[in-house]
């Protein structure tokens, strides 16, 4: 049988087309944007990386009563244990600007796919267990007035999370419209400017809260975008 190479799951036709677009923009450029640059240093990419090392920890030896154990010369017996700790190092790689952009885009696509699979699993679980959003009261039936009151009290949308575009590398908010599987992706521009990389990463990966002023700004942008979508 012929050896057929299986494409990775992230490699959809649309994403492969975006990689072509990236090559059109950054192909054969050094990290400083110079085309066919002859300077080797311009291709060196430095990024932090956490590695695990062993740290020696001296532990004084004592007996069961807590008394120090001494050697034949009367010195304290010390036992050296090794504790794993994580340290940051700076990893250097030789790469082109296109390769760096493509690697970042693919990394975001893989993360999006993992999240999408998780959401699909949760939705399937909800459907199987009949736990979708309530469309009627838990008990009884709507009257004409209570129906209007109940529906008017429901939110227009739900903010599902924060993400980074794999193509433009700009932040966006994913929004789901109420009682619907329709989702909007709202570009929030430079709203996160001034927020540390650590806080951005925690907000994107673990849905950790951002500073209150930025949260309020994002809510206003999302609300306006949803209202514009509904109006049109």
How big is the CA angle at 163 (ends 162 and 167), to the nearest 5 degrees? Answer: 155
Q: Of the candidates 75, 94, 113, which is a domain's last residue?
A: 94
Question: Are the CB atoms for 98 and 29 separated by under 8 Å?
Answer: yes
Structure tokens at 145: 């007035």
Q: Total domain count for the chain?
A: 2
User: If the chain, 232 residues long, is cut into consecutive pieces of 10 residues, what is the mean pLDDT of each piece?
Assistant: 66 89 91 93 90 89 86 88 88 92 88 76 58 48 53 70 78 80 83 81 78 85 83 69
Return the biggest CA–CA distance within the chain.
94
212 three-state secondary structure = helix
Domain contains 133 = no
Task: Name the token pair of 103.
Answer: 């690697």
In a domain, 189, yes or no: yes
175 domain residue, yes or no: yes
Host domain of residue 190: 154-232
Determine, yes or no, domain membership for 5. Answer: no
Report d(CA 181, CA 159) in Å as an integer. Answer: 13
Q: Which residues contact 202 (CB under 8 A, 6 or more apart)?
A: 208
Domain assignment present for residue 171? The answer is yes
Question: How much is the pLDDT for 123?
Answer: 59
178 domain-assigned: yes
d(C-alpha 99, C-alpha 83), whole Å = 37
Residue 224 near residue 191 (C-beta atoms within 8 A): no
DSSP letter at 79? E
Query: pLDDT by residue (tens digit) across 183-231?
Result: 888 888 888 888 888 887 777 777 778 888 888 888 888 888 888 877 7
Output the pLDDT for position 125.
61
Q: Are residues 161 and 88 in the same domain?
A: no
d(C-alpha 121, C-alpha 5), whole Å: 28
- The span from the CA of 39 to the CA of 30, in Å, is 9
> Cα 14 vs. chain centroid, distance in angstroms?
21
Residue 129 lies in a domain: no
Looking at the structure, do residues 89 and 159 belong to the same domain, yes or no? no
Residue 183 lies in a domain: yes
Last residue of a domain, one of 94, 120, 137: 94
């Amino acid at each position: 049988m012929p050896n057929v190479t299986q494409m990775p799951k992230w490699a959809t036709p649309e994403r492969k087309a975006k990689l072509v677009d990236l090559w059109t923009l950054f192909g054969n450029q050094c990290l400083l944007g110079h085309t066919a640059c002859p300077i080797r240093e311009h291709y060196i990419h430095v990024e932090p990386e956490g590695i695990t090392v062993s740290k020696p920890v001296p532990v004084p030896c004592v007996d069961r009563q807590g008394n120090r154990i001494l050697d034949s010369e009367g010195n304290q017996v010390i036992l050296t244990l090794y504790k794993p700790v994580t340290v940051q190092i700076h990893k250097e790689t030789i790469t082109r600007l296109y390769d760096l952009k493509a690697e970042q885009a693919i990394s975001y696509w893989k993360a999006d796919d993992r999240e999408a699979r998780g959401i699909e699993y949760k939705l399937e679980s909800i459907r199987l267990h009949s736990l979708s959003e309530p469309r009627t009261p838990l008990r009884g039936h709507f009257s004409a007035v209570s129906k209007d009151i109940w529906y008017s009290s429901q939110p227009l949308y739900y903010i599902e999370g924060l993400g980074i575009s794999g193509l433009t590398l700009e932040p966006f908010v994913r929004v789901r419209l109420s009682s619907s599987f329709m989702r909007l992706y709202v570009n929030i521009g430079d709203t996160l400017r001034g927020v540390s990389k650590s806080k951005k990463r925690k907000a994107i990966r673990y849905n950790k809260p951002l500073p209150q002023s930025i949260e309020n700004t994002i809510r206003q942008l999302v609300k306006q975008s949803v209202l514009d979508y509904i109006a049109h």
